[in-house]
Amino acid sequence: MIVLDSLTKSFGVSPILKGLSLDIPDHQNTVIIGPSGSGKSVTLKLIVRLLEPDTGRVTVDGADVGEMDRDELTALRGRVGYVFQFAALFDSMSVAENIRMGLVRRGYDEGTIKERIDESLEVVELRGSEAKLPAELSGGMRKRVGIARAIALKPRYILYDEPTTGLDPVTAAVMDQLIIRTRDLGVTGVVVTHDMRSAFSVADRLAMLHDGTIRQVGSVREMQASHDPVVRQFIEGRPERVALEPPVRRSAG
C-alpha cells in the first residue's frame, strides 16, 4: 500500500501541493484526476523520490521513502514501475535494449532477460518491434514500449503519467485495456490523467486533485454523482469558473 501523508511541494515561490494526503490500496487502479499543472505528475515523482517533498511523508509498503538509503531506494524502484508521459525511451537504444536495461540492472541471466522481453512485448502487442529505435515508433507505440519496460520488471506497483495524452481514441482505448490487464495481473496502478474517458474506464478509485490537495476520493459512480461543484465542473469539462464561496451580499444603501 502507498500512503501519501500531508505532502507539500513548492517550486520557487509557487506552491504546487499544499498538504496532499491519499491512501492507495493494493491491487486496484487509483486514478488521480485534476487540471494541467495541478501537481499530478509531481505526486507520482514523490512516490519514487524523483522529487522530494518539502514536508510530509510518502510510505510504500510501510517504509518511509524519504528515509531510505540508496540501496533501499534501489530496491523500492525495483518494485515500482514508472510509465512516463512521453515514454522517456532511451533514444540511442532499440526497443529490446530499452526493456533490457532494467532487467540487466537486476542481475537476471540472459535467458530470463530474453524471456521477459518477449513476454512484455507480447502483452503490449509489439512483438517484432524489438530492433526498432524509438524514433521509428508512433507516439502510441512508444507509450506501449514504456509499459513493456515497466511490466518486464514484474513490479508490484506501476505509476502511469498521463498514459493517453496525445493519443487518438482507438490507441487511447488500447492503452486503457493494457492498464486494466496489468491490474488484473495483480499490479497496483496509480494513474494520473485529465482524460476523463480514460479515467472512468480504468479506475477502481478516483481522486480529484485541486488546489494542491485531494478534493474528493471515491468510486467512479460516487464521483459521477458528486455534488461538489469543482468535481462536477472538471468531470463534465465545463469551462466556466466555479464559485467556491457564496457571493457576498451587499448591504442596502
Partner 1 sequence: MFLHNFRTVPPLAVSAVTRNGFIAHVGRRSLEAGRALGDVGTWLPLLAIQMRRLGVDSVPIALFIAVFTGIVLSLLSSYIFTGAVPLYFVGALVGKTIMMELGPVLTGMALAGRVGASIAAELGTMKVSEQIDALETLAYDRYSYLVVPRVLAATLMFPVVTAFAVAVGVGSGWITAINLLDLSTPEFLKGLKQFYKFKDLWFGLVKSASFGFAVALLGCLRGLATEGGAQGVGLSTTSAVVLGCEAILVLDAFWAMVLL
Q: Which of 17, 89, 121, 231 binds partner 1 (CB under 8 A)?
A: 89
Q: Which of 36, 62, 91, 135 binds partner 1 (CB under 8 A)?
A: 91
Asked whether position 45 contacts partner 1 by CB under 8 A, the answer is yes
b/e string for 5-44 if b means 16 or more Cβ within 10 A?
bebbbeeeeeebbeebebebeeeebbbbbbeeebbbbbbb
Asked whether position 74 contacts partner 1 by CB under 8 A, the answer is yes
Asked whether position 101 contacts partner 1 by CB under 8 A, the answer is yes
How many residues comprise the chain? 253
The three cell numbers of residue 170 are: 482507438
Phi then psi for residue 201, to 5 deg, are -70, -40
Asked whether position 106 contacts partner 1 by CB under 8 A, the answer is yes
The three cell numbers of residue 238 are: 465545463
Query: Which x/- pattern, by CB under 8 A, does the window 143-162 give for partner 1?
Result: ------x---x---------
Looking at 28-36, 85-93, 122-130, 222-230, which segment touches partner 1 (CB under 8 A)? 85-93
Q: Which of 84, 157, 160, 234 binds partner 1 (CB under 8 A)?
A: 84
Asked whether position 230 contacts partner 1 by CB under 8 A, the answer is no
CA 156 and chain centroid, separation: 14
Looking at 59-67, 101-109, 203-211, 239-247, which segment touches partner 1 (CB under 8 A)? 101-109
The three cell numbers of residue 100 are: 533490457
Q: Which of 15, 78, 139, 218 binds partner 1 (CB under 8 A)?
A: 78
Sheet bearing 2-11, strands edge to edge: 14-24, 2-11, 55-60, 63-64
Of the candidates 63, 94, 90, the residue with the CA atom closest to the CA atom of residue 79: 63
Q: Which residues bind partner 1 (CB under 8 A)?
A: 12, 45, 48, 50, 70, 74, 77-78, 80-82, 84-86, 88-91, 101-102, 105-106, 149, 153
